[in-house]
Amino acid sequence: MRMFRRPRKLLLLVLMGALLATDIADASNHGASARAAADTAWRASSAGGAQRLQPSAEEDAIAVHGRKRKKRSRAKPISWVALQQRYPGSFVIWGPRRYRKVALTFDDVPDPRYTPQVLEVLARHKVKATFFVVGQRAAAHPALVRRMVNEGHIIGNHSLNHPVFSRISLYAMQQQILRTDWTLRTLTGYSPRYVRPPYGEIMPAQVEWLRSRGYTVVNWDVDSEDWRSLDSQTILINIKRTLQPGSIILQHAGGGTGQDLSGTIAALPKLIKLLRSKGYDIVTLPELLGRPAGRKLQ
Ligand SMILES: [Zn+2]
């Protein structure tokens, strides 16, 4: 017994070092300092009222299991543009540039504090959007998911409890997707095709599995950075910075206890007016990408 313990400790240390090293590599890739801050904000949500967002012991086990397996097979981080080139139609960060269309996407829903307000603004302006739903939040607030669908919006899969996919195993990611898929299928009547990985982070092997199951991974090329609890003016400036035909715009309609999305709600009518004044058609992801909201079940 003893003989095995020390090497195990050593191995753990080496593995932790490897994890840290890859985190730094990720940072240079997708600006993970922002991801880390967003992650902290997300985790703050679990500490407050949204207890269901805390991973269960079973999910923790999945995550730990994933970390253990990760070390052996961890691939190098890859840029989103490279992923989009490698998996055309299956990993997407923008739509066709030749049409003056853009898609609004809202992550981390449903959240009773903010999602109804976003839905009200969208209804008032007759805009349809795409909502990336967290499975555990959907289970906690099913009526809000049904409302999104009834009001003509598109639902996508944003994992079960918002882990960083690049830090969990392929198996753990599959469980995150499939369990959320089951919840959403029950609520909406279809299996959402569109998947957005939390923080946009995903590994090639994970994209490949999703592709093989008929999912389309969708990140974004316009980041409002609204999760930082920004005022509406700053949110609009952020959006205008990289906006162009075909853009997929990231915003949030749900957040943690420390997050204030009132800036998002205040910005939304202005954003819609701005986009329309520039001649943009505001569409859903199926309309932008020409692929239906649901995937074929296999
Ligand atoms: Zn998210």
Mean pLDDT by 10 residues, the chain (298 residues): 41 43 35 57 44 37 38 67 97 98 98 98 98 98 98 98 97 98 96 98 97 98 97 98 98 94 98 98 98 91
Looking at the structure, give the CATH architecture of the domain made up of residues 80-289. Alpha-Beta Barrel (3.20)
The pLDDT assigned to 256 comes to 87
Say if residues 105 and 287 touch (Cβ distance below 8 Å).
no
* Ligand 1 centroid – CA 185 distance (Å): 20
* Ligand 1 centroid – CA 40 distance (Å): 12
Task: Categorise residue 126: left if φ over 0, alpha if ψ from -120 to 50, beta otherwise.
Answer: left
* Ligand 1 centroid – CA 11 distance (Å): 32
The two tokens of residue 9 are 């400790």
Q: What is the pTM of this model?
A: 0.80
Is 158 tagged catalytic? no
The pLDDT assigned to 74 comes to 55
Classify strands 248-252 and 101-109 as parallel, antiparallel or unpaired: parallel
Of 26, 107, 181, 226, the active-site residue reads 107
Query: 3-class SS at 248?
Result: strand
Is 252 tagged catalytic? yes
Of 108, 153, 252, 260, the active-site residue reads 252
